Amino acid sequence: MSDSQFPEPDVAVEAIQPTELKEKVDADEPLTILDVRAENEFEKWSIDGENVDVLNVPYFELLDGVDEDLLARLPEDQPVVVVCAKGGSSEFIAGLLKEEGVDATNLERGMKGWARIYEYAELDVDSEATIAQYRRPSSGCLAYLVVSAGEAAVIDPLRAFASEYVQDARALGADLTYALDTHVHADHISGVRTLATETDVTAILPEPAVARGVDYDSDYETVADGDVLTVGNVDIEVLHTPGHTSGMTSYLVDGTVLATGDGLFTESVARPDLEDGDDGATDAARTLYDTLQNTVLSLPDETLVAPAHFSDAATPRDDGTYGATLGDLKSRMDALHMDRDEFVEFILSDMPPRPSNYEDIIATNLGQQDASDEEAFELELGPNNCAASQDALTN
């Protein structure tokens, strides 16, 4: 049964907007979420928080009414937010709960609406440029906007939010000049091509990433290790940092912020198996070790690591952004002090499941496969799983 086939509830059901729910979660307000999606969809990704209790009861188990067992599991002293994929079945179930006296509301547009949340915050760093971080809570994706003297660049943009980068740059008095990818992403559809075809933005791809078989129907430029891009009054230095992928590239912005892509996170390091699978993971892990030791960790300790993703195990900074200095990570992440063989064995020992639809996402990002905006959005729903561990590797 599709969402459009559900009958209208017999009682009025209030809707809560995804951004409003996110504010409540961030404020640690006690609430209960009843997720009525199928169990396999719920297990892939869900909404959680410090004071959030989550129950999963598929909607088809409730079509004949809400049983006493479920009512007993729901709190009497806090609101219940009912969630589904698109907001239709959850509205119907919320109506059934209200008829039973439960303080139930419906998440507008469901998990698809949750995936549309995109947050902007400027980093507190010592730079002549304004450097902002974009956060997508549903997937943990991070992107960065660099603005200086009327020019701007976006690093690791998402296709679903391409227009926001242009608008935000203009709001800061700048024109978006560059759209850069750190690598061929496996968890989301890149916005680099969209920005290049729909605006005057120059698409920038790492030269070794193009070697994987990029086949774009639009123009792009490449950068290699040691190159420098200028945005206004600041430089963006190009550092080839392979390991997660062969083309993985980091961008050092104004000598202060290192956009590491998926090479190094604030809570973990990259997984090495998304390009060549299990057969190539060992060699990729060795390459990752060399990259971290010889390139990344050789930078000054005060360099701020700005990754392309965060996981549930990551701890945000006081301002809600995700980042950590290299000195801080050195002091808290034991994996950065292992010898090469120990590091490789450790990284390969307990990797999480690969991102959903990652093969189709890679093919789309290479330009070898087409996807409409809606298809692209569907492909990337869920967590990123690009780190080597679901748990934090920091102390």
List residues with catalytic annotation: 84
- Calpha distance 35→295 (Å, rounded): 44
Of 93, 82, 86, residue with least CA distance to 34: 82
Q: Are 297 and 325 in contact (CB under 8 A)?
A: no
N-to-C CA span, the chain: 47
The C-alpha atoms of residue 317 and residue 222 are separated, in whole angstroms, by 33
Q: State the amino acid at position 49 in one-letter form.
A: G
CA angle (355, 61, 69) in 5-degree steps: 110
Strands (E), the chain: 15-16, 31-35, 52-56, 80-83, 104-107, 119-122, 130-136, 141-148, 151-155, 175-180, 202-206, 221-223, 228-231, 234-240, 249-253, 257-261, 304-307, 324-325
The bridge status of strand 31-35 relative to strand 119-122 is unpaired
Nearest alpha-carbon partner for 258 in 302, 318, 218, 226 = 302
Write down how long the chain is: 395
